[in-house]
A and B are shown apart, each in its own frame.
Chain A
Amino acid sequence: MSDEGLDSSPHPPAAASPDRPLLDAIRDGDRKEIARFVDLHADAVYRFVHHRLDRPEALDDLVQEIFLAAWRALPHFRGESEVGTWLLGIARHKIGDYYRDRLRNLDLSAVIDEDSLPESLRIAPTVDERIDGQRREARTRQILSTLPDPYRAVLVWRYWDQRSSAEMAAISGHTEKSIERLLARARALFRRRWNDG
């Protein structure tokens, strides 16, 4: 794991954070406060990761990994931000790790040459404002689920996790050009399915 987003050197607390008593009790092995910590923050972490992940089946493991990473980083937490914000920083970092591994394990070249792009695909899609958010979300997720894994991964990482192509390239180890080509293909296929629906 890289260290982006995780403060790796021990520091004294910068200021008296309102979260400090809870964190001190957790570090002291207070079992009930550990439960309170989970109960207080699990929903926000879960929502954050759920929104940014291309595979629901990876969600639980990733959320657990984020809390474990937070536990290990607790001695280095300076209290400069709220615990919730700090946790989401760790989550963002872990999501980057997840996509790095994901793109490393997928055969990107196989899908890049998979289909051609006829002129008919170049019709720009629109978001119908009359469709309510819930239906649009359901339809978006449904179409994403039909895309090949690499397409879905780059689309969700790019737009739902709001990463630039340059960041995606730097984290995944692929060239920016190959990421952009993959994104273009993924957008085209998504668009075709959106317009067909």
Chain B
Amino acid sequence: MGNSDEIEDEAFFERLAQAEPSALRAPARLKSRVYSALMREAAEAAPLRSLTATEAAGHRLCVFEKFVQILPLGARLDSVNYCRFCHGRVLGENMDSAPIFWKGCPYADFHRH
């Protein structure tokens, strides 16, 4: 192959490759998976911010977190990653439009956006 062909080849492939799709969005189930992985990592590294402190910082707790928060479980259990045990997580990670509708749930938010 001659040099001019190589140059044409380069231009051809560069032209094909230049369009990065701008409208593409990460699927909600992938966001859910990534969030679960980060939460696992965070919980292994140190206790999570307590539910009480989370709420005090202005965040809305989900119905299950709220339930746990009002139980007299002690400070240590206030920092557990309860999403690990929640069916909302399983649905969020495995479905494209997961039927999770309760407020304060990150998985529901990923699927709503």
Contacts and interface: CB of A to CB of B under 8 A. Distances in A.
B69 interface: no
Contacts of A122: 1, 5
A68 interface: yes
B68 interface: no
Contact of A124 (B12, B15, B16, B42): B12
A177 B38 CA distance: 41
A165 B87 CA distance: 48
Interface in B74-90: 79, 81, 83
B26 A42 contact: yes
Interface string A119-158: 0001011110000010011001000000000000001001
Contacts of B15: 127
Interface of B: 1, 5, 8-9, 12-17, 19-22, 24-26, 30-31, 33-35, 37-39, 41-43, 45-49, 54, 57, 59-60, 79, 81, 83, 106, 109-110, 113
A32 B21 CA distance: 29
Contact of B1 (A43, A45, A127, A184): A184
Contacts of A45: 26
Given A124-B5, A126-B12, A137-B19, 10 more contacts: A32-B60, A35-B106, A42-B30, A45-B26, A51-B20, A60-B33, A63-B34, A71-B41, A137-B21, A187-B9
Interface residues on A, range: 35 or more
A55 interface: no
A106 to B, nearest CB: 20
Given A47-B24, A60-B30, A38 B35 contact: yes
22 contacts: A29-B43, A29-B49, A29-B79, A30-B54, A31-B39, A32-B57, A32-B106, A33-B59, A34-B35, A35-B106, A37-B38, A43-B24, A47-B22, A47-B24, A48-B20, A68-B41, A71-B42, A72-B41, A126-B12, A159-B14, A184-B1, A191-B12
